[in-house]
Amino acid sequence: MSKKVGPLDIYNLLPRTNCGRCGESTCMAFATKLIDGVYELEDCPPLFEDPKYAENLAKLKELTRPMVTYIDIGPKERAVRIGGKRVLYRHELTYHNPTAIAIDVSDDLSDDEIAKRAKEIDEFKLVRIGEELKLDLIAVRSVTGDPKRFSEVVKLVMENTQKPLVLCSFDPEVLEAGLAVAKDQKPLIYAVTEKNWKDVSDLALMYDCPLAVFVPNDLKKLRSLVNTLFEKGIEKVALDPGTFLGEGFKDTINNFTMIRKAARDGDKLLGNPLIGVPLISWTKPEAVPELTKWREAWMACALLLRFADMLIMHSYDVWVQLPLLTLRQNIYTDPRKPVAVEPGLRVVGNPDENAPVMFTTNFALTYFTVMSDVEKLDCYLLVIDTEGLGVDSAIAGRKLTADKVAEAIKESGVEQKVKHRKIIVPQLAARLKGEIEDLSGWEVIVGPRDSSGIPGFLQERWKP
């Protein structure tokens, strides 16, 4: 969407009935959030149901066309959306639709291994800053080349996961065997190539599934194949320009960058989601097995930074996924909104009237770090609303003041829970000590610089 399009341009083309079916009470609110990428046009049902809006709908489609189209993988109720990027860089506008991570399950494994792997991928979860970070898709890979085995494995995977699927083979016969089993799952077909395009594109039309286009290291041919598919009526495509090992990784990064910049400059053929395949690391394993995993991890991180909308990987070892999921979480967090938690008093463990009272800010990263350091103690933790800023920035920006601390102590009701009047403050807030004491009547004890020092500090210094 052009950055010059404003909410009024959108609003004027909407039905303007304020019917509320989109979840907003007014069409104006919907228009504003549509520009921010919170909604798609499909979220306004009247536009699509009533033929009198057809002309406006066509105009809206053109007006709101993102730089990169999106595709949905999986059945509607649990589809994973990839692409839909409206800008090249996150600082221009919040990124939506986080890079989806698909983990492979190959059909040469035993049934038990397949069921176990599918379940583990399904249940994989890391918690960071209060958010559950998960894997998104399972890529069922044909290694045997046997259509019958492929269909059995697709079925087995479906019995053990709720994750949407990617069906991987270049053989139309194999793909069709998988699609026949998984047609209601609307999987991503991976992939159409210059050699198989006629048969595989027929399958995409027949089963109404999105299609990955694989043309390694030749953007001209990639564009040409996408054009052929568009002419055939296939609109939902994702692009895989190849992921290469060694020196070839330079080409990979260059191709990803050139494709996305072409999309930014209005190239509709290249304005489609990008797929990276760090799984390639396993085709030439390193002498030390761990190095193959680390190579896959850093390739995945590099591709995520270079606009990949989806990654196909092999390892879901926590040390491979942790850096990737952390990076993804950071990139896909709205930079305009600091990550914050609810302010208020937290009761940790079973504190009594002599239990220590401490405070921290409601910046999520600080909060969860402090919480993990005190979770085995019995204490009260006062979380002060600093609009999501950490201690030092909040003090510098006057979001954390002695007034706020005194007020929070009063409002929290902690005065009724303990009989002492002592509060431990982070060392970074030491300069507020005198003022807090004057305003609250509580004695301020300056705590350790890092919250990991709290347990030791309490053992040594806490005398209620």
Residues near ligand SF4 (CB under 6 A): 14-15, 17-22, 24, 27, 30, 44, 46
Q: Which is nearer to ligand SF4, 21 or 250 (CB)?
A: 21
What's the closest the beta carbon of residue 9 comes to ligand SF4, in angstroms?
14
Q: Which of 383, 408, 386 is nearest to 399 (CA)?
A: 386
What's the closest the beta carbon of residue 456 comes to ligand SF4, in angstroms?
56
What's the closest the beta carbon of residue 12 comes to ligand SF4, in angstroms?
12
DSSP state of 89: S
Q: Which is nearer to ligand SF4, 17 or 330 (CB)?
A: 17
What's the closest the beta carbon of residue 25 comes to ligand SF4, in angstroms?
7
How many beta carbons lie within 10 A of that of residue 378, not counting itself? Answer: 14
Q: Which is nearer to ligand SF4, 76 or 220 (CB)?
A: 76
Q: Which is nearer to ligand SF4, 10 or 192 (CB)?
A: 10
DSSP string for residues in 5-48: --HHHHHTTS------TTSSSSHHHHHHHHHTTS--GGG-HHHH
Q: Which is nearer to ligand SF4, 50 or 173 (CB)?
A: 50
118: Cα separation from own chain's centroid: 21
Q: Which is nearer to ligand SF4, 15 or 388 (CB)?
A: 15
Cβ-Cβ contacts under 8 Å for 310 (sequence gap 6 or more): 82, 99, 100, 101, 102, 137, 238, 273, 274, 275, 276
Burial class (CB in 10 A: 0-12, 13-18, 19+), 178: buried
Q: What distances in angstroms separate CA 305 from CA 302, 333, 423, one per listed residue? A: 5, 14, 43
* Rg (alpha carbons) of the chain, rounded to whole number: 27
What's the closest the beta carbon of residue 15 comes to ligand SF4, in angstroms?
4
How does strand 125-128 pair with strand 131-134?
A: antiparallel
What's the closest the beta carbon of residue 403 comes to ligand SF4, in angstroms?
42
Q: Which is nearer to ligand SF4, 21 or 125 (CB)?
A: 21
C-alpha to C-alpha distance for 102 and 120, rounded to whole angstroms: 13
What's the closest the beta carbon of residue 28 comes to ligand SF4, in angstroms?
9
Kindly state the helix (H) or strand (E) to which residue 422 belongs, with its residue range.
Answer: strand 422-425
